[in-house]
Every structure is written in C-alpha cells, then in structure tokens.
C-alpha cells in the first residue's frame, strides 16, 4: 500500500485508540521511522503530512536531513555511541536514548543549547534491550540536573516483541508510573511530560496507556 494510505490508516487507528480511553488525538505525535527506507520514501511520508522523522543511525539521519531539510522534527531513536554525539548534536530536535551519565556529559559538552532528551528505560527486563532498569530512573534524572544542556522531556521504552498483549501493556504502564514519579520531583530541567512508546505492533496499546510520541516504521512503509 502506498505510504499515504498507510499514514491515513494509522491516523484513523490513533483516533480509535484515543476515543476508547477519552484522549485527544492531538496529544499523539506520530514519528515516521525511516531507518529502512530511502530518502524518496521518507519524502512521501512528509507529503502525507508526517512532521516527525526518526532515525537510529547518525549516517542515516544526516543523509536524509541533507535532502529533506529541517522542516520536520528530527528524532534520534537508536542507541547512541558517545563518540557519535558530535555528528548529530546540532542536527536533532530530540534524542530518545539517553541511558547513561557519560552520554549526558557528552551531549552537555557538545551542545550550545538545551537538548530535548528522553531517558530510555528497559521496562521488560530483556537482556537485549537498552535502557535503565526502572529502579534506577529517578536517581539518574536527579543526577542529570548537573548538566544544563540536558532537558528531560520524557521517558522512552520498547516493549517485547510478543503476542502477549498483557506483557506489552505492563511495560507501558510501568513507564507511565515512572514518568509520574519523575514529574513529582518537580526538577527544573525535567518537565518529563512525554511518553515515547509504541511501535507498529503495539502503538494502540501504548496510546491507551498514555503514549504521546509513537515511533512507527513498518506500518508506514511496508
Ligand atoms: C525500528 C524502530 C522503531 C519502529 O519499529 P516498527 O516495528 O518498524 O514500527 C521504533 N523504535 C525504535 C527504537 C526502533 O529502532
């Protein structure tokens, strides 16, 4: 199916998920994850109304941004090696994978202005997943207050790839509870309003549990 039709379908499903739990669809930001597709396909998504693009590699992001410009919001969603921070720091609007102090220190050093960051949390406990364990999150965010160019806009997680929707839902509920814990700290650089959760297989559950940014690749481009 063409990209435009896929986007329309997803927007419809977002509306349905929102109405199920009485949320306003305007609270949901749809990030088109373009890591597997060409610049041309990414351009089609923008033409279909997408205003957020997600990439997980520095080369991919820089290549696409060079051609698509800075009109869309650029999201870095993959695990970020410290030595690559300098390549992307002035090119991204959001980083979704802040998971260690050494990375925060490098972002802080390389950027001239506060960077909107999501703290990545491993809510499933799977070895293969990046992110802090849930019980590390609040102390980590408090430590981030030493870095003036880190702005904690929210938390991010990836649920396991499973058919068991209750397992997925538990991950999203956990992230929301942690977000509420961080918000309650009322730290100056951690408004922490946002929840980056939900991918092609699970974004409707994520929306039901409070997602504000969903990251979708396959369902837009396949
Ligand atoms: C690839 C990727 C996505 C999109 O996954 P799909 O299943 O293709 O929608 C979302 N988030 C992250 C961090 C990714 O790496």
10-residue stretch averages of pLDDT, the chain, 222 residues long:
94 98 98 97 97 97 97 97 97 98 98 97 95 98 97 98 97 98 97 98 98 98 93
Per-residue pLDDT, 205: 98
Is the shortest distance between the CB of 199 and ligand 1 below 6 Å? Answer: yes
Q: What share of the chain is helix, strand, coil (3-state, %, to 5)?
A: 45, 20, 35
Of 156, 114, 119, residue with least CA distance to 140: 119
> Any idea what the CATH number is for the domain that residue 36 is in?
3.20.20.10
Query: Whose C-alpha lies nearest to ligand 1, atom 15?
Result: 78
Which atom of ligand 1 lies closest to the CA of 222? 8
Q: Which residue has the tokens 């390549």?
A: 87
Per-residue pLDDT, 1: 62
Q: How far apart are CA 150 and CA 206, in angstroms?
A: 25
Number of structural domains the chain divides into: 1
Structure pTM? Answer: 0.98
Task: Find the angle CA(83)-CA(86)-CA(88) to the nearest 5 degrees.
Answer: 110
Is the shortest distance between the CB of 131 and ligand 1 below 6 Å? Answer: no
Per-residue pLDDT, 21: 98
Which atom of ligand 1 lies closest to the CA of 200? 9
Which atom of ligand 1 lies closest to the CA of 156? 13
Is the shortest distance between the CB of 77 and ligand 1 below 6 Å? Answer: yes
Per-residue pLDDT, 65: 98
Is the shortest distance between the CB of 56 and ligand 1 below 6 Å? Answer: yes
Q: Could you tell me if 201 and 184 are in contact, meaning their C-beta atoms sit under 8 angstroms apart?
A: no
Structural domain for 113, as ranges: 2-221
**Probe target for ligand 1 pocket from 42, 53, 77, with the most ligand atoms within 8 Å of CB:** 77
Is the shortest distance between the CB of 216 and ligand 1 below 6 Å? Answer: yes
Per-residue pLDDT, 104: 98
Which residues lie below 8 Å from residue 175, measured CB to CB, with a gap of 6+? 121, 123, 155, 156, 157, 195, 197, 209
């Amino acid at each position: 199916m063409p990209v435009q039709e896929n986007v329309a379908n997803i927007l419809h499903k977002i509306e349905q998920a929102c109405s199920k739990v009485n949320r306003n669809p305007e609270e949901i930001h749809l990030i088109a994850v373009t890591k597997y597709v060409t610049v041309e396909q990414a351009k089609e998504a923008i033409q279909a109304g997408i205003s957020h693009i997600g990439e997980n590699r520095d080369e991919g992001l820089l290549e696409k941004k060079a051609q698509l410009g800075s009109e869309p919001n650029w999201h870095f969603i993959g695990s970020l090696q410290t030595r690559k921070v300098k390549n992307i720091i002035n090119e991204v609007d959001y980083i979704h994978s802040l998971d260690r102090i050494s990375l925060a220190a490098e972002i802080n050093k390389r950027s001239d202005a506060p960077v909107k960051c999501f703290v990545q949390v491993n809510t499933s406990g799977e070895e293969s997943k990046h992110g802090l364990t849930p019980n590390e999150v609040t102390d980590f965010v408090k430590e981030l207050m030493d870095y003036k160019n880190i702005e904690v806009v929210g938390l991010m997680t990836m649920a396991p790839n499973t058919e068991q929707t209750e397992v997925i839902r538990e991950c999203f509920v956990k992230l929301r509870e942690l977000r509420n814990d961080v918000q309650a700290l009322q730290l100056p650089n951690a408004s922490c309003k946002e929840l980056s959760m939900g991918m092609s297989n699970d974004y409707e559950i994520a929306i039901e549990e409070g997602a504000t940014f969903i990251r979708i690749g396959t369902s837009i481009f396949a």
